[in-house]
Structure 1
Amino acid sequence: MDATSPILLFDSGVGGLTVLDELRKVLPDAPVIYAADVAGLPYGTKSEAEVAARVAGLLGRMAERYQPRLICIACNTASTIALGMVRDVLETPIVGTVPAIKPAAALTKTGVFGLLGTEATMRQRYVDDLEHAFAVGKRLLRHGANGLVPLAEAKLRGERVRIDDVADSAKGLMLQAHGSDIDTIVLACTHFPLLEQELREAFGQGVEFVHGAQGIARRIAHLTEGQPFARSTGDCAITTGALANFERLAPAFAERGIDRLERF
């Protein structure tokens, strides 16, 4: 294993930075390439066929160019739709991102918990299977909150995000039957933890939020255990969109040790 071979973190935008934050804690020396498919954003409004074809195609080309030791699809929508396909076509180890339904079902005291994600994630059979496996006897309420994705991206650019806008995008969860009994909410989009403070204000302090970034980081650490890590250059972030727009996020990337931003 080449010690400079990077871990590739892939997301539709900047939500995967929540995974990078946790990965830095367990593998601080690992070289990282952060890949944002900004040109394809948002995934939540696309068809399953569109997402699967786009993600598989991009990751195939990125794997060929950057030769990563491991790829993390740090996006719930892409993972629930395309994870199996990507694993079938690439030899590189792949770590996906799935909704943290299992820990949330164990955490809820009322027996009613919520799932916030994109509309595309909400309708996946993968989510149904997780509910049937881990939430027997519990009530899981789902809501597709596509509007939270651009709000999270705006916050990371340093723009002001109104609590009312966050609440409007997410309120469909609580307005359902038994919604007032929700005490735990799964943030099933890696963008959403960026808005956890605003979501706490919107839902109240009595609600716990659960997401999978820590578990994903631990899984990556486990799969790369014993491998050497070394950086030949600084870590890099790449975008499929306009570089000028991506550079508006430079301060957020710099906070995470990424100083090079490039167009893929």
Structure 2
Amino acid sequence: MKRALIIDSGVGGLSVASAVRTTLPELAIAYVADNAWFPYGKRSEAELTDRLVFLVERSLSFVPCDAVVVACNTASTVVLDALRARFDMPIVGVVPPIKTAGEVSRSRVVGLLATEATVTRPYVQRLKEQFAADCKIIPLGLPRLAEIAEEKLRGIPVNREELRELLRPLFGPGAPQVDTVVLGCTHYPLLLEDFKAISPPGVHWLDSSPAIARRLAQVLSEVPPRNDGPLEDAVYFTAPVEGAEALTAYLATLRFPAPQLWPGNAELVAR
């Protein structure tokens, strides 16, 4: 049996975990939500690199895994090289599906929903130039969306009128004819049904989670199976969780146990 470590700043990576469950139903998953540092978008590149290397190293010491998924767009644009240099195992990151947007958009007007940090990264600019150069890309750096997704999984109803106002540059009066939206943050697929409810019919909402799951399956196929018997799933948070009852109920739909405080928390706080 094999196990993957999936790490994010909060619950957003659960959208990736859900896709992994579908693609690799027998895979054990250790999920780490670094909610003590949520959101990652306000951190510097140096801070993120140091933090993620430490979190992965300590997490692997108490839950050995065969691969690591950085289920955060902001972190993936910064830390993958450092993780691959440090750990002798597959490291999978998240790529905004801009290439797919360039393939499916008929109006050639594409919305890019992401954190402010992600939309300004040179890596994302290169993706646009390489795969969607003939498209008009409308970037929206909306940190509030990740907060809404966090609240939703803690049992707080989504205010769709607030969503409608946030997405006004894409779908409001006088907006260009957006027919495709890239979900450039792993939190955003958790709001997909809400996005669809406040947007015109027929919009393509592009989520990278299925592609991440397929990539994980590919790299794990090259890793020898463990000989230490069945492996358990686990969910860890680096700070106490509000709304734990609603979150635990959601985790159960993904076959996860109740969340625990990350075992290295005391050391983390001391850093």
Q: If the length of structure 2 is used for normalisation, what is the TM-score?
A: 0.89
The equivalent residue for 2:120 is 123
**193, 214, 219: which one pairs with 1:197?**
193
The equivalent residue for 1:206 is 202
| Aligned counterparts, 1:1-264, within 5 A | 3=1, 5-174=2-171, 179-225=175-221, 227-228=224-225, 232=230, 234-242=232-240, 246=244, 248-264=246-262
Percent identity between the two aligned chains: 35
**Structure 1, unaligned stretches of length 5 or more?**
none
Secondary structure of the equivalent of 1:258?
A: coil
Equivalent residue letter for 1:103: T
Q: Distance in 2 between matches of 1:172 and 1:52?
A: 33
Q: Distance in 1 between matches of 2:16 and 2:65?
A: 17
Give 1:66 shift: 2.0
Q: If the length of structure 1 is used for normalisation, what is the TM-score?
A: 0.91
Secondary structure of the equivalent of 1:44?
A: helix
Secondary structure of the equivalent of 2:134?
A: coil
Q: Distance in 2 between matches of 1:9 and 1:212?
A: 15
Give 1:137 shift: 1.6
Q: Distance in 2 between matches of 1:51 and 1:204?
A: 37
Q: Distance in 1 between matches of 2:52 and 2:230?
A: 28
Q: Distance in 2 between matches of 1:231 and 1:245?
A: 34
Report the RMSD for the aligned CA atoms in angstroms: 2.1
**Structure 2, unaligned stretches of length 5 or more?**
263-271
User: Do the aligned partners of 1:116 and 1:173 also contact (CA within 8 Å) in 2?
Assistant: no
Deviations 1:83-110 (A, max 9, x none): 2222222222100001000001100001
